[in-house]
Amino acid sequence: MADQQNTGGVTMPSKPPPWNDPVVRSIVFQIVALILLAWFFWTIFQNTLTNMETRGISTGFAFLNREAGFGILMSLIEYDESHTYGRTFVVGLLNTILVSVLGIIIATILGFVMGVARLSDNWIVARLASIYVETLRNIPLLLQLFFWYTAVLQALPGPRSSLKLSENIYLNNRGLNIPKPIFQDGFEFVWIALLVAIAGIFVLLRWATKRLDETGHTFPVFWTSVGLFIGLPLLVFLIMGLPLNFEVARATRFSLSGGANLIPEFIALLIGLSTYTAAFIAEIVRAGILAVSHGQTEAARSLGLRHGQTLQLIVIPQAMRVIIPPLTSQYLNLTKNSSLAAAIAYPDLVSVFAGTTLNQAGQALEIIGMVMAVYLSLSLGISFLMNLYNKKMALVER
Amino acid sequence: MTDSNWQPAPSLPPPAATVGWIGWVRANLISSFSNSVLTVVLGVAIIYYGWQILDWALFSADFAGVDQKDCESSGACWVFIRSRLDFFIYGFYPNAEIWRINVMFGLLAVLIIPHFFEGFKHKKLFGWLLITAFPVVSGILLLGGILGLEPVETDKWGGLALTLVLAFVGIVAALPLGILLALGRRSDMPIIRGICVCFIELWRGVPLISVLFMASVMLPLFLPEGVNFNKLLRALIGITMFQSAYMAEVVRGGLQAIPKGQYEAAAALGLGYWKSMRLIILPQALKLVIPGIVNTFIGLFKDTTLVLIIGLFEVLQTMNTSITDPAWSNVAVEGYVFAGAVFWVFCYAMSKYSQALERKLHTGHKR
C-alpha cells in the first residue's frame, strides 16, 4: 500500500481513504447540515418577504406606539382604550405573572399536603389523596378550566342574590367580591419592614448553619423566622397607627358596589392551574420522600435525634435534593399552561397580545415573536438557575 | 422417660386483633386517637357526599328521552349525552360515511387489544402494522377521493375521531423524530449538537398554544406562493414539533443512563455508529425510559384539546358547542363530566399499561 510506511520494523496503521475517514466524514457531514439549514432559513426568509409584500403587511415594531382602542377586562396598571399596543403587552404580561405566582404558591402548598397525605398511615386519607391525584392528572387542563368556568362559576346566582361566604365576601357569577384594602400614608414602612424581615431571615439562616457546623448547637430557626416575618411588620404597622382601611361591598338594588372584584375568569384559571399542577407536585413529593431510605430515619433516631430533628436535619434535606429539580419544571409548566387563559378569556399575555392585539394590528411575525421570546427567556432563565442549584446540591461522590 | 417422644405444643394462632380484617382496620383506620377521629370525620363526609353524587348521577338522573323536556328530575340529564353522542364521536363527518370512521376504530382496536394479552404470538407484526399500514389505510378511509370513496374535507372531521387522529399521528411522528434529536444532542459533532440543542430548547421553552398560533398564523407566511396546508395539517406539524422536543429529552435521559462500557463494547465488536445504536444502545435506553415515553404520550393526548383554540372541532370543542346549544340548558356539568371521563379512561389505561410493561421489561441492570 502506498501510504503504509515501514519505519524501523514498526508497521503504522494504514490511513483510510478520505470517504472512510471518520474525521473527514464528520466535517463534511456538518458542513452539509449547515448549508441545508442556511438554505432552509433563507427560503423561509425570502418566502416571508414576498408573502408580506403581496399582502401589504408592513414590518417593524412601530405599531407598539399606536393607540390600542380596546378595553381589557382586568389590569394591574392603569389602562384604558386610549393607551398603546405596547401597553397591552405590559398589561398581559403582568396578568400572566400574577396568575402564575399565585398559582405556584397554592399548587405548592396543596401538592405537598396531597403528597404527604398519600403516604399517610390512615387508609382513607391515603386513598382520597390518590383518587385526587389520579383523577386530576388524567384529565386535560383545558377541560378542567372549562369545567370551573362554565359549569361552576357561570352557574352561580347573579349579583342580586350573591352567595355570602362570610362577612363582606360575596360570590356571584360576576366573580368574587372581597374587601378592598386602602393603604394610607405610612403603610410603605410596613412593606419596608417586611423586606427587612426577609433579609433578616436569610442572615439568621446563615448564622444558624454556621453555628451548627462549628459548635453543634441547634437554633430554632423556623419559629424565630416565623416570628420575624409576622412580628416585625406587625410592630411597624401598630407603631404607624394602623394605616390601613378596607372598602367593603354594599348591596345596591341590582348588584354590589365597592370592594375589590376578582373576575370569574381569573378565579377559574387560578383554581384550574393550581389544582392540576398540585396533582403532579404531589407525585413528586411522594417520590422524594420515598427516595430517602428508611435506614436514614433509623440511623438518625439511634443517634438520639428527636422526631422533629430527624425530619428537619436528615429526611427533608435529602428529599429536597430529589424533589426540587422536577418541582421547578412543574413551576415552568404552570407558567406556560397559564397561556390556556386564552380559552376562557382571562386577559393574559397570549389572550390579550397574541389574541386581540394581533387581530387588530395584524403584525403576526413581531407579536408571536415577542410572546415566544418572553416565555423562552423565562424558561431558559429558570433552567439556568436550576442547573446552578443542582450543581451546588448534587451529591459529591468520591 | 418419654424424653424422645417430646413434642412442642402446636403454635398458637396470632392474636385475633392483628390479622384478618380486624387487624387491617386496627392498623390502617384506628391506629391512634387522632387517626380514629380522622377516620370517623372523613367516613361520614364520604358517605354524605358520595350518596349525593350517586343520587345525582344515577338514582335521580334521566336516562330515557330525546330532548330537554325529558329532563325534569333533580339529577343529571344523561339524555343530553345520548342525543349528542354521535356529534361527540364523529363531529361533522357526513352521516352516510360514518362507517368509514367505525372501520378505523375497529382496525385500531384489533391492532391494539392483542397487546394486552400475555400469550399472543404476533405482537411484533401487529405493532408494525399499527405504525405502517394502519395510518395509510385510515388516511385513505377518512380522506376518501380514491377507490370510489366520496372525498371528505378535513374541515368536516371532528369529535373523538379527530382527537384520535391528532394523537395517533403526533405519537407516531414524534417518537422517531425525538430519538433522532436525542442522538443528535449526544453527537460528537459540535454543529449537529448545536442545532439539536437549539431546536429542543426552543420548543420546550414556549407554550403549545403559542406554537399552534404560530402554525396557524405564521406558517402560511413561510411557505412559497400557492402552497397551502389546511388547518389540520398545520396543527399536526405544530404538535409534532413540540412533542418531539419533549420526547428527545426523555430519550436522552435513557441514553445517559447506559454505561460507557456498552458503547465501547459495541465499538470493539466493530459495529458502526448506526448499527451500535440500533442493536446495542437504543434497545436498552428505550426500555429504561418507557414510563417517560408513555407520560409524554399521555401529555400529548391531553394536549390535543388545545387545537380548539385554532378552530378545530376536537372532542372538547364538540362538547362546548353542544353545551351552548339553545335547545339544552344547564347541561354543562353533565357534558364536562362525560368528556372528562372519556379522557380519563384513555389516559389511565395508558399509564396502567406502561406500569405493566415496565414490570415486565424489568430484566436486570437497572441502577
ipTM of the predicted structure?
0.86
Q: Decide if B315 contacts B159 (C-beta within 8 A).
A: yes
Contact B206 A151 (CB under 8 A): no
Measured distance CA(B136)–CA(B213) in Å, rounded? 28
pLDDT reported for residue B367: 38
Which residues on A lie below 8 Å from B42 (Cβ)?
A: 122, 124-125, 128
Give me B75's grid cell.
339529577
Which residues on A lie below 8 Å from B333 (Cβ)?
A: 147, 151, 155
pLDDT reported for residue B365: 47
Q: Which fold has domain A85-143+265-393?
A: MetI-like fold (1.10.3720)
Weakly modelled stretches of chain B, pLDDT under 70: 1-3, 362-367
pLDDT reported for residue A13: 67
Rounded to the nearest angstrom, the minimum Cα separation between B270 and chain A is 14
Measured distance CA(A89)–CA(A352) in Å, rounded? 8
Burial of A367: CB neighbours in 10 Å, binned 0-12, 13-18, 19+: buried
Which residues on A lie below 8 Å from B32 (Cβ)?
A: 121
**A68 phi and psi angles, rounded to 5 deg:** -75, -50
Helices and strands: H and E segment counts in chain A: 13, 10
- The three state secondary structure string of B175-189 is HHHHHHHHHHHCCCC
Give me B121's grid cell.
404470538
Give me A256's grid cell.
354590589
Measured distance CA(B251)–CA(A384) in Å, rounded? 21
Give the chain A residue whose CA is nearest to the CA of B191. Answer: A30
Measured distance CA(B209)–CA(A342) in Å, rounded? 9
**B2 phi and psi angles, rounded to 5 deg:** -110, 35
Contact A339 B207 (CB under 8 A): yes
Q: Which of B276, B215, B275 is nearest to B242 (CA)?
A: B215
Top residue of B305, B307, B317 to mutate, by most chain A CBs within 10 Å, is B305
pLDDT reported for residue B319: 87
If you count residue pairs, one on A and one on B, with CB atoms under 8 Å apart, how many are there? 154
* Sole residue written with cell 363527518: B93
A121, A125, A336: residue with CB nearest B42:
A125
Give me A185's grid cell.
400614608
Top residue of A143, A328, A370 to mutate, by most chain B CBs within 10 Å, is A143
Measured distance CA(A271)–CA(A175) in Å, rounded? 13
Measured distance CA(A45)–CA(A125) in Å, rounded? 58
Measured distance CA(A108)–CA(A102) in Å, rounded? 10
Q: How far is CA A192 from the centre of its chain?
A: 25
Contact B217 A364 (CB under 8 A): yes
Contact A147 B336 (CB under 8 A): yes
A122, A350, A368: residue with CB nearest B38:
A122
> Which of helix, strand or coil describes residue B23?
helix
The Cα-based distances of B69 to B57, B58, B59, B74, B330 in angstroms read 18, 18, 18, 13, 13
pLDDT reported for residue B248: 92
Helices and strands: H and E segment counts in chain B: 17, 0
B195, B209, B223: residue with CB nearest A339:
B209
- Strands of the sheet with A175-178, listed across from one edge: A163-166, A169-172, A175-178, A260-262
Q: How far is CA B132 from the centre of its chain?
A: 20
pLDDT tens per residue, range A32-51? 989 999 999 998 888 888 88
Burial of A363: CB neighbours in 10 Å, binned 0-12, 13-18, 19+: buried
Which residues on B lie below 8 Å from A23 (Cβ)?
A: none
Contact A124 B43 (CB under 8 A): yes
Give me A173's grid cell.
357569577
pLDDT reported for residue B179: 93
Measured distance CA(A208)–CA(A217) in Å, rounded? 9
Contact B348 A138 (CB under 8 A): yes
Give the chain A residue whose CA is nearest to the CA of B217. Answer: A364
pLDDT reported for residue A140: 93
- Gyration radius from chain B CA atoms: 28
Measured distance CA(B130)–CA(B351) in Å, rounded? 20
Hey, which residues 353-372 in chain A have their CB within 8 Å of chain B? 354, 358, 364-365, 368, 371-372
Which residues on B lie below 8 Å from A358 (Cβ)?
A: 213, 217
pLDDT tens per residue, range B4-19? 788 888 888 888 778 8
Which residues on B lie below 8 Å from A368 (Cβ)?
A: 210, 213-214, 217-218
Which residues on A lie below 8 Å from B181 (Cβ)?
A: none
Hey, which residues 119-158 in chain A have their CB within 8 Å of chain B? 121-125, 128, 134-135, 137-144, 146-147, 150-151, 154-155
- A359-362 contacts: CB < 8 A, separation 24 or more? A360/A68, A360/A69, A360/A70, A360/A85, A361/A63, A361/A66, A361/A85, A362/A57
Q: What is the DSSP letter of A311?
A: I
Contact B225 A343 (CB under 8 A): no
Q: Where are the domains of chain A?
A: 85-143+265-393
pLDDT reported for residue A132: 93
Contact A26 B31 (CB under 8 A): no
**DSSP letters along A6-55, please?**
EETTEEPPPPPPGGG-HHHHHHHHHHHHHHHHHHHHHHHHHHHHHHHHHH
Measured distance CA(A113)–CA(B226) in Å, rounded? 56
Weakly modelled stretches of chain A, pLDDT under 70: 1-13, 251-258, 394-398
pLDDT reported for residue B48: 93
Q: Decide if A329 contacts B246 (C-beta within 8 A).
A: no
pLDDT reported for residue B362: 67
Which residues on B lie below 8 Å from A269 (Cβ)?
A: none
B209, B323, B351: residue with CB nearest A150:
B323
Instruction: Please tell me the total number of residues recorded for chain B in this structure.
Output: 367
**B224 phi and psi angles, rounded to 5 deg:** -65, 160
Which residues on A lie below 8 Å from B330 (Cβ)?
A: 155
pLDDT reported for residue B3: 66
